[in-house]
A and B are shown apart, each in its own frame.
Chain A
Amino acid sequence: MTDQDKEKVYEQAIKQAKNTINVASVLVLAGVVFMIQLTYFPQFFSSTDQNISAFDTTAVDPMVMTMDLDPTEIENGIHVPSGLIVDDGVDLVIRTCGVCHSLGLVTQNKADREGWKDIIVWMQETQGLWNLGATEDAILTYLANNYAPVDEGRRRNLEVLEWHDL
């Protein structure tokens, strides 16, 4: 390892440490706010029907859901390990779709809400996908918002990543 490499590793370590501290601060702050609310406004947290609320993702604050991802793994709005766009419901997609296949199969495909629904139905009919219950709505919203088709006509322009002298 060259000195330059070491320097890069140190830089990265410091960056990660800073990130961790930032995240910890946010979490502590959120915890304090939560405790205050719990103490003074307990009615906000009482659930009338445990079974339904347990699976009703639409009742979950999306911020709470995305907080589940490790912020150090998010770069430019992409959750690096999965390659998925970070948005409400991304953790649901990781945990549901990632059970059986590469998440690359999500990121390379494009469809509208109906198209994604068709894909889910196809996986249920032929590939052993289970009934997604109340999570399906949030998953479809995520997919339709973030992996929608783009009209590229009958032929798209060529992209050249690297020009080289012949």
Chain B
Amino acid sequence: MDKKNNSRRNFISKSALAAFAALAGTKIVFGENFPSELEPIGLDELETPEGIPGKSDALTILNNKPWNAETPPHLLDPEITPANLMFVRNNGIPPTEYDLEKWTLTIEGEAAQQKKTYTLKKLYDNFAHYTYDLTLECGGNGRGEFNPPAKGNQWGLGGVACTRWTGVRLKDVLNDVGLKSTAAYIGYYGADTHLSGDSSKVVISRGVPIQKAMEDESLIAWAMNGEAIPKMNGYPLRLVMGGWPASVSGKWLTKIVIRDKEHDGPKMGGQSYRIPKYPVPPGTKVPDEDMKIIESMPVKSIITYPKTGAIIGKGQSFEVRGHAWAGDLKVKAVMVSIDFGVTWQKCELNPPKNRLAWQRWKTRITLPEFGYYELWARAIDENGKGQPMVLPGWNPKGYLNNACHRLAVKQA
């Protein structure tokens, strides 16, 4: 950031604070129940250097309190998403102090044989290490397109990443603790704190059925892309369970509970990370008891090259490429259309590096004549389910939008 910009920002921030100070003196509009010890923090971003700690300023910031940011699709082009480009989806405030010597992970719960606590060193020394490329996608990725709109961060396409995770298998640790035959579900707890500042409030505590937890690729990870996990993505320890809404992969991990029933932590129940049990017309209010938990994410693909807005010279052919993934499943085929879905061209498709990694696809395209075109990409999973070209089933919280990615190109 250059100096001029900086001083302008300082000017804004000081005058904004001055405005707040002046406003706080007026008694008219606070309402009788306003907690007077709180300072407005909605303008916080103006007091801190621009951007998210440890993240590229090329990310699109959706929210700064808590930090939420997504990756523009063309920056997801690499096989493995670079650490500073991986999306950020925080529900609370990440911890600010880390004592790696003292950081512990406790496993307990009514379906655990015992309560056991591990230091990071103990996890590292006592269990075999595994590395997998795992696709994590926010359950609300694509929410911004739903109509009528759903509340929450209005994600576009970039709440997804495939990075290389290293750690120990969750099942090895769970087996070391010992599971009772009643074990049905696991839930996580992390060291992040609630936005309200209330330290007794748990920010988010979600989980998965025991079957998913016991898969080979379900990791307790301490490294991403061969380095420490970025602070905004869960440093120093997190769960990684690819293919499911990323919210099941708890960050800043301190505790795992082994439950004898569906886990009931904050954001497991109600309408959070849930969709209606039956299809509903757009805009329907669906009672909580008619909602079900999202498990494996649906098939989806993105075009990472070219960037939208490309102008192609007459007669030129160009490569179109991207990634495709399908929750717990593999992607069977990807096709691209340049004529609004009238005809489709089949793409080359690589197998995943390992289970739950996204798959590279590519093809070459020649536009027939001068004019405006849209590139549409559509993936189909191994069970034959494909991406819809319009928005999929509307749901109250705007999850699971896997409508095909479209971008605009022109031939000169």
List the interface of chain A (C-beta within 8 A of B): 1, 5, 8-9, 54-55, 57, 60, 65, 68-70, 72-73, 80-82, 91-92, 94-105, 108-111, 115, 118-119, 122, 126-128, 130-136, 138, 149, 151-156, 158, 160-166
Contact = CB atoms under 8 A, between A and B. Distances in A.
Interface in B362-412: 374, 389-391, 403, 406-410, 412
A133 B32 contact: yes
Contact of A81 (B3, B35, B46): B46
A101 B30 contact: no
Interface of B: 3-4, 12-13, 15-16, 18-20, 22-23, 26-35, 38-46, 61-66, 144-145, 147-149, 151-154, 194-196, 198, 201, 266, 270, 306-313, 316, 318, 374, 389-391, 403, 406-410, 412
9 closest Cβ pairs, A-B complex: A98-B42, A154-B390, A133-B31, A130-B33, A102-B65, A160-B309, A128-B196, A166-B310, A81-B16
13 contacts: A73-B16, A80-B12, A92-B29, A94-B40, A96-B34, A100-B41, A102-B45, A130-B33, A155-B390, A160-B308, A165-B310, A166-B311, A166-B318
A65 to B, nearest CB: 7
Given A94-B42, A108-B153, A155 B62 contact: no
B29 A164 contact: no
A59 to B, nearest CB: 9
B191 to A, nearest CB: 19
Contact of B31 (A55, A73, A102): A55
Given A98-B43, A166-B409, 9 more contacts: A54-B27, A70-B15, A70-B19, A105-B63, A108-B62, A126-B266, A126-B270, A160-B408, A164-B309
Nearest to B27: A54
Contacts of B38: 99
A151 B412 CA distance: 33
Given A73-B12, A94-B42, A155-B390, A102 B64 contact: yes
Contacts of A103: 42-43
A130 B23 contact: no
Nearest to A100: B195
Contacts of B13: 81
| Residue among B13, B16, B306 having the largest count of chain A Cβ atoms under 10 Å | B16
Contacts of B309: 160-164
